[in-house]
Structures are given as C-alpha cells and as structure tokens.
Amino acid sequence: MRKIIAFPALLLCVCFWLPGIAGAAVPLPSPPQLSAKSYVLMDFHSGRVIAEHNVDERVEPASLTKMMTAYVVSAELAQGTVSLSDEATVSEKAWRMEGSRMFIEVNKRVTVEELLKGLIIQSGNDAAVALAEHIAGSEQGFVHMMNDYAAKLGMTGTSFMNATGLPDPDHYTTARDMALLAQAVIRDYPEEYALYAEREYTYGGIRQQNRNKLLWRDDSVDGLKTGHTASAGFCLVASAVRDSMRLISVVLGTNSDKARADQSQRLLNYGFRFYETSKVFVAGQPIKKVRIWQGETEELPVGVLRDVYITVPRGAGDSLQTEIELSDYIVAPASIGQKLGKTRVKSENEVIAEADLVSLANVNEGSLFQKAKDAVLRYFE
C-alpha cells in the first residue's frame, strides 16, 4: 500500500526557498515572438521550457552540428581513447572541405587540442573531418557515433549525415534537440565547454573570431555555437548565466547574423527578467526519515540522488506544494540508492518537478527478536 502526503513546500526542506523566490508575483507578459523558423528557451538546471515556437519542426542544423562533433570528441577524451596531445594526419578530404575552415594543410600533423579549438571557435569544417577521421577512421564511422550519442541524449528528432553540418536531405534536427544537446555539452564536459566562450583563435598565423556576437555584447553569455547555410538560414544556440541561473536559447532560421544575435538576446533577457530557478532538493540530503521494519535500526533517511531544480515565474513560490509518495510498509534490508517512492513539486495542478525518493543509508535485517517485536507492533498498529 502506498500513501501520498501533501504539504506546503516551505515546510518540507529548508533549501526549498532561496532569496527572491517568495514575494509579490511579477506580472508575466507573453514571450517575445521572433521571426525565426523555430526557437526555444530552456532552463539548464530544471529543463523547463520557458518559450517555444515550432520546437519539434525538422530543420537543418548547419554548423550547429559541430556541437555534437565536439561532444563525441569530449566523450572520447574522457574515456581515454584519445588525448589532447594526439596528432592527427590531415587527409586530402579534410583539407579540401568547403565553407568555414581553420586552414590546416594536407598531410600535416595537427594535435587534437588544436583541432578542437579550430572546430569550436573557428567552426572549421576541415577540423571536423580531421577529428572524425582520427577518432573513427572515417567520417562515416564517426557519424554512426554521433547518432548513437544523439539517441542516448533523447534527441529523437535528429539525424546526422556528416560531422560538419553541410546540407544533406537526411541531415536534420529540431530546436528541442539542440537545447538538449547544449545542456549535455555544458553538463557533461565543462572543460571543453570553456572553449565556446573563447572569442578568437589563431592557427597557422591566421586569426579568426568566434561568430557568436553575443560573446561581445553580453558578459553573461559563455557559449555556444552559430550555424549558417543558404537553406538553413542564420542559427544560434546560446547560453548565459545570471545570478546562478543558466538559460539556453536556440534560434533557428533567421535572415541575418544580426537577427540571430538580436533575437537570441531577446529570449535570454525575457527568461532572466520574468523567471527564477531554485534548487529544491539537494542530492544526498535527507528529505524525510521514515519507519523501516525488521531492521537493525528503526529509521531510514530518504532523499534524492541528484539535485532537483524548479523554474517558475518570479514571485510564484507561494503557490507551490510538495507531494511525497512512499510505501507505508518499508522492510529491511535497504541499500543506498534503493527506490522507495516519488516526490513531486506542483504549481496548482501542474507537476513542475519530479524525482525518485531513494534510501540514503544501508539498513541490514535486524535480529530475530527485533523482527518478532516489529511483527507484533505491526499487527496491532
């Protein structure tokens, strides 16, 4: 049997209310309407979508593709299959790549670190192919890796056909998927993510600037990537942090470099002005202590394994309610991480955050005496 306990969120966890959450609600205007094929504004921590338009419409990613190329490289670096000091031999295919380039030379050896900078900062198509061939032996083999990672990240509307983003009928994505990818890049590989904030990079005596104009305009912006082809239009995935709140914006299919920067800025400013994000549950911190039967101890702390965040309109914290769903009969043994129930944060009838409640301690079975005692207590309860 399971029971649900509902009570005001403030009473549940001292970490629930952070400065600025309580107070008078700020009037909430509609999100800005942008002249783009599709767009989305998402909070990095909570994953809440604040604004969207055609978020699941299939579009060309252009050089936004290189975010996944870089993600795969970062994964290989983390696994130790390659290192930044490894040298890749530049193939004729990589050297001949059209579009944006870092200008590597055929048959020359270039380090993975240099290629990664050329990929992220200079958006080099030649760097993308050189990295793909070095890691997977061929660009085609690397593309299989890209699609595998996309599936793992839940990018259900995406198909990659190359490592560069050059047009192909079967090379497509969605605004939602680009936001998920940006979230993964920032979360999983912060060291490589720092490269997205670099404003310029010089290789072979050629200095090139990062095409993300927001890096010069807004000090809170620290990434991510631009894209452009004649068919895709001008695209930008951006991320910014203000007062510990990080937002991710995706704007696809605008008509100019200026438009993609202006409209991304409008989305970010709207999100920071009218919303706030708070950590409501801290990983590993007990939310509640529950009775455990037939164990060597009678109390079991329960909580969450990962931090839980909520994103709400400013001043809307007073309307939140936390709901806990737990079995009313938990029997030893219990182990750390064992799922015991759910916790949900609601705004009126909408669930805005949900997480598994797990055991935060190991509890072994009790003695025969303890088991008999608990059996009697349970019978007369």
Residue 243 burial (10 A CB sphere; 0-12, 13-18, 19+)? exposed
**Helix, coil or strand: residue 231:** coil
pLDDT for 63 beyond 60: yes
Long-range contacts of 51-54 (CB under 8 A, 24+ apart): 51/267, 51/270, 51/271, 52/175, 52/176, 53/175, 54/175
One domain, residues 186 and 318: no
Quick one: tokens of 51? Answer: 């604004």
Quick one: tokens of 79? Answer: 């696994």
What is the number of other CB atoms lying within 10 angstroms of the CB of residue 149?
Answer: 17
Q: What is the pLDDT of residue 370?
A: 67
Closest CA to 127 of 168, 99, 158, 160: 99
Closest CA to 292 of 239, 332, 256, 322: 332
* Average pLDDT of the residues in 204-214: 96
Residue 156 lies inside a defined structural domain of this protein: yes
| Confidence band, pLDDT 50/70/90 cuts, at residue 283 | very high
Q: What is the CATH number of the domain that holds 81?
A: 3.40.710.10
Quick one: tokens of 270? Answer: 């709207």
* Average pLDDT of the residues in 19-39: 75
One domain, residues 60 and 180: yes
The more confident residue out of 269 and 322 is: 269
Task: Give the integer Cα–Cα distance in Å for 65 and 80.
Answer: 23
The more confident residue out of 349 and 246 is: 246
| Catalytic entry in 66, 117, 213, 225 | 66
Quick one: tokens of 30? Answer: 């509609």
One domain, residues 55 and 168: yes
pLDDT for 316 beyond 70: yes
The answer to whether residue 66 is catalytic is yes
Residue 33 lies inside a defined structural domain of this protein: no
Query: What are the pLDDT digits (tens) for 108-148?
Result: 999 999 999 999 999 999 999 999 999 999 999 999 999 99
Task: Give the integer Cα–Cα distance in Å for 117 and 24.
Answer: 46
Residue 243 lies inside a defined structural domain of this protein: no
Instruction: Indicate the residue among 221, 256, 289 that finishes a domain.
Output: 221
Name the DSSP letter for residue 221.
E
The answer to whether residue 373 is catalytic is no
Task: Give the integer Cα–Cα distance in Å for 41 and 338.
Answer: 34
- Name beta bridge partners: 228: 234
The answer to whether residue 123 is catalytic is yes
Residue 233 lies inside a defined structural domain of this protein: no
For residue 239, the number of C-alpha atoms closer than 13 Å in the C-beta half-sphere is: 26
Task: Give the integer Cα–Cα distance in Å for 135 and 123.
Answer: 18
- The domain of 7 spans 2-21+280-380
Task: Give the integer Cα–Cα distance in Å for 78 and 41.
Answer: 29
Q: What is the pLDDT of residue 380?
A: 65
| Confidence band, pLDDT 50/70/90 cuts, at residue 14 | very low
* Average pLDDT of the residues in 198-212: 96
One domain, residues 94 and 163: yes
One domain, residues 320 and 204: no
The more confident residue out of 95 and 318 is: 95
One domain, residues 211 and 118: yes
Task: Give the integer Cα–Cα distance in Å for 300 and 206.
Answer: 62
Task: Give the integer Cα–Cα distance in Å for 92 and 98.
Answer: 12
| Confidence band, pLDDT 50/70/90 cuts, at residue 27 | confident
Quick one: tokens of 55? Answer: 């978020």
One domain, residues 179 and 318: no
Instruction: Indicate the residue among 189, 204, 221 that finishes a domain.
Output: 221
Decide if 16 contacts 10 (C-beta within 8 A): yes
Query: What are the pLDDT digits (tens) for 71-116?
Result: 999 999 999 999 999 999 999 999 999 999 999 999 999 999 999 9
Q: What is the pLDDT of residue 371?
A: 67
H or E segment and range at residue 109: strand 109-111
Residue 246 lies inside a defined structural domain of this protein: no
Residues in contact with 231: Cβ distance below 8 Å, sequence separation at least 6, in sequence order = 60, 167
Of the candidate ranges 115-124, 255-264, 276-285, 344-353, the one whose mean pLDDT is the lowest = 344-353
| Catalytic entry in 123, 239, 249, 359 | 123
pLDDT for 376 beyond 90: no
Task: Give the integer Cα–Cα distance in Å for 342 and 357.
Answer: 5
Rounded mean pLDDT of the chain? 90
Residue 45 lies inside a defined structural domain of this protein: no
One domain, residues 10 and 69: no
One domain, residues 215 and 287: no
Instruction: Indicate the residue among 221, 241, 264 that finishes a domain.
Output: 221
Residue 36 lies inside a defined structural domain of this protein: no
Decide if 289 contacts 273 (C-beta within 8 A): no
Task: Give the integer Cα–Cα distance in Å for 190 and 188.
Answer: 6
Decide if 270 contacts 51 (C-beta within 8 A): yes
Looking at the 3D structure of the chain, how many domains does it have?
Answer: 2
One domain, residues 104 and 184: yes
* Average pLDDT of the residues in 286-315: 90
One domain, residues 17 and 97: no
Q: How far is CA 86 from the centre of its chain?
A: 28
Residue 239 lies inside a defined structural domain of this protein: no
One domain, residues 76 and 214: yes
Q: How far is CA 340 from the centre of its chain?
A: 26
* Average pLDDT of the residues in 9-35: 56
